[in-house]
Amino acid sequence: MTVGIIANPVSGRDIRRVAARGGISSAEDKRNRIARAVIGAVAGGATHIVAMKEPFGIASGALADLPVEAELEILDIGARVDPADTTRAALAMRDRGINVVITLGGDGTNRTIARVWPDVTLVPMSTGTNNVFPSLVEPTVAGAAAGLVATGKTDENQVAPKSKLIHLAMADGSEDVALIDAATLANDFVGNRMPVDPNNLRQLLVSTARPDTIGVSSVAGLHAVCLSRDDYAILVTCGEGGALTNAPIAPGLYQQVPVLEVQRIDLGEEVDLNGPSTLAFDGDREHQIHANAPIKAVVRRDGPRVVDVRRTLELGASQGFFVLP
């Protein structure tokens, strides 16, 4: 009967807005979204809400004096406003047996959770820069869907399919994951937060490719559609001499990307991501690839379950869960 909430307080506020035109997601906006999601979750049957505490008071402000018939709890994980906050919150909720979590953030926020808790069931709501994995869903009904799944009123096998996950094996034996895209970039560096220079893009492996998304995955989506339900991935090779593809690589920013080749990759098929290059996961540059040490990448359907809000509410309504006796 419990729904968790993890809100990244800095999502939608990073430096990429200097070079593009992404909207700012304020703390007050996030509080409002959380409050609406909690009201929806309780309407869906949840009796206990657990939300991550952070220094901006987003969750605590949202839950203060909220008129719902449920236990409202703020989970203190010693937040320091860095990515480790999301990791600690996810692990704490997992250890407490919470199965369904509403997230406020972008691809990077959800990737951080998936990296340590791939078995979680997520209701991801967009507030980040790259928003391919989360959706632009109304929080009130997203919360209701979370409540229906958390209380077992709808079968998660029907309404929350497993997502695809890009697994990456580094040359040093370490491993990492991405939810939507893994890209190799020439002449770049770890920690760079600016939009990708299209002339630096070399390889792009995506689990989801749609022409109506923002970010580097849109480059693939303008050549081949690969939906979350499709059991394959797309590999794009870029470089000098490629066909120029005008792609929305950041909010309000179209760039011409030279595309040399587009390939369909089967689930389980191994791909070499080559260096020397910087490796970006879901928009975040985190690793360097050396010339003679390629990274092995493979896409599998073993990521978090993602709740289909519309399907969940359709099933809930068809079974009369919202009709009072």
* pLDDT tens sequence across 15-64: 555 555 666 678 888 999 999 999 999 999 999 999 999 888 999 999 99
pLDDT-derived band of residue 136, with 50, 70 and 90 as boundaries? confident
Judge if 190 and 107 occupy the same domain.
Answer: no
Question: What is the C-alpha separation between 33 and 322, in angstroms, rounded?
Answer: 22
Query: pLDDT at residue 209 above 80?
Result: yes
Judge if 100 and 209 occupy the same domain.
Answer: no
Q: What is the pTM of this model?
A: 0.93
Judge if 182 and 150 occupy the same domain.
Answer: no
The answer as to whether 324 is a domain residue is no
Q: What is the pLDDT of residues 70-117, one digit of tens each?
A: 999 999 999 888 888 999 999 999 999 999 999 998 898 999 999 999
How many domains would you assign to the chain? 2
Judge if 113 and 55 occupy the same domain.
Answer: yes
Amino acid at 269: E
pLDDT-derived band of residue 204, with 50, 70 and 90 as boundaries? very high
Judge if 26 and 172 occupy the same domain.
Answer: no
SS3 call for 203: strand
Give the percent of the chain with pLDDT over 90.
Answer: 77
- Parent domain of 185: 165-300
Q: Which of 183, 184, 248, 193 is closest to 215 using CA atoms?
A: 248
Contact 104, 8 (CB under 8 A): yes
Judge if 125 and 223 occupy the same domain.
Answer: no
Beta bridge partners of 266: 232
- Report, as an integer, the average pLDDT of 266-291: 93
Q: Which of 199, 180, 177 is closest to 286 using CA atoms?
A: 177
Question: What is the C-alpha separation between 261 and 246, in angstroms, rounded?
Answer: 15
For 280-315, b/e burial (b = at least 16 CB within 10 A) is bbbbbbebebeeeebbebbbeeebbbbbbbeebbeb
Beta bridge partners of 38: none
Question: What is the C-alpha separation between 115 and 263, in angstroms, rounded?
Answer: 26
The answer as to whether 325 is a domain residue is no
Question: What is the C-alpha separation between 287 and 113, in angstroms, rounded?
Answer: 19
Q: How many CA atoms lie within 13 A of 225 on its CB side?
A: 5
SS3 call for 235: strand
Contact 27, 175 (CB under 8 A): no
Judge if 137 and 11 occupy the same domain.
Answer: yes
The answer as to whether 60 is a domain residue is yes
Judge if 42 and 183 occupy the same domain.
Answer: no
Question: What is the C-alpha separation between 294 and 22, in angstroms, rounded?
Answer: 33
Judge if 191 and 79 occupy the same domain.
Answer: no
